[in-house]
Structure 1
């Protein structure tokens, strides 16, 4: 298999789809910083040459500063069909970890805010644990993204104290860093099983 999301997709169609998804993902970044220069913000997300070199060595996940803010550098690599499959799965994992890490931060802050309430005003912890307070349903925990989401909830319950005594932005970065360390080490076989 070589970069196939669906059997009828060619590599160029898949590349266009992935580029479209990347551009959609960067839209929120561009909109978030009204005073910034949109072109600069967009260019800052593109992988730098040293990040591409780290990807070539298979070490990008652990050696790029704030990888959850960066585009997957494995997209820039080409090679044999087998190597390109590996790059594809690494990027799937990368993108899913970025998304789940953002969720882990939101969940952690919610656990923290609930804990800060007087006991009589606290929502039941079970509604946080099972995701119902975040409007998640059992179907949201299926497939590999569900596995990551489930861990994000468990992680949030165990790490909500990261928000204690910290600026929300600093705490969010800590959550995303710790979550990334776990998520980026998840075996690629999870993604291979889902996308093949």
Structure 2
């Protein structure tokens, strides 16, 4: 999405930055993992296809993605690639009820798990979606086996709406209202939105 191509989001121990071409090689390495392919319902791509996908994410107005950086590693090492730990995405659609977005979160680096990085990154993306993209309904589709993500979205006040046995998925949603918006802002008291400067 062009709207977020110069945007950096910071919240506690995470920094979210646009998905750039120089992130692709490490991202491609992650996606060779059968575990991550299963958790994200993804098919393995060649490196060339991954570069093409990155450009698609940059241009399409119905997709918004940020790379998740471990803020502690970024501060210590000053190396954005080394600090990469996952990504968070929105797939945007116009519905009769209002603008909706399916949200996905992936913490790919095992060393980053258990540090509330997924929690803080998802909160940041939701706040960005509300304030900058005018999202009115958030949805999520989570595999039956992905208990970590199920717990995450329940904590985020999402409610289960459907189970789809053929895809082995649980569907959740959350309608944005004043109470939810205020709660998100309370949870993201250290959130900031700044200009991102590309490494190249």
More helix by share: 1
More strand by share: 2
Could you tell me the TM-score, scaled by structure 2's length? 0.29
Could you tell me the TM-score, scaled by structure 1's length? 0.29
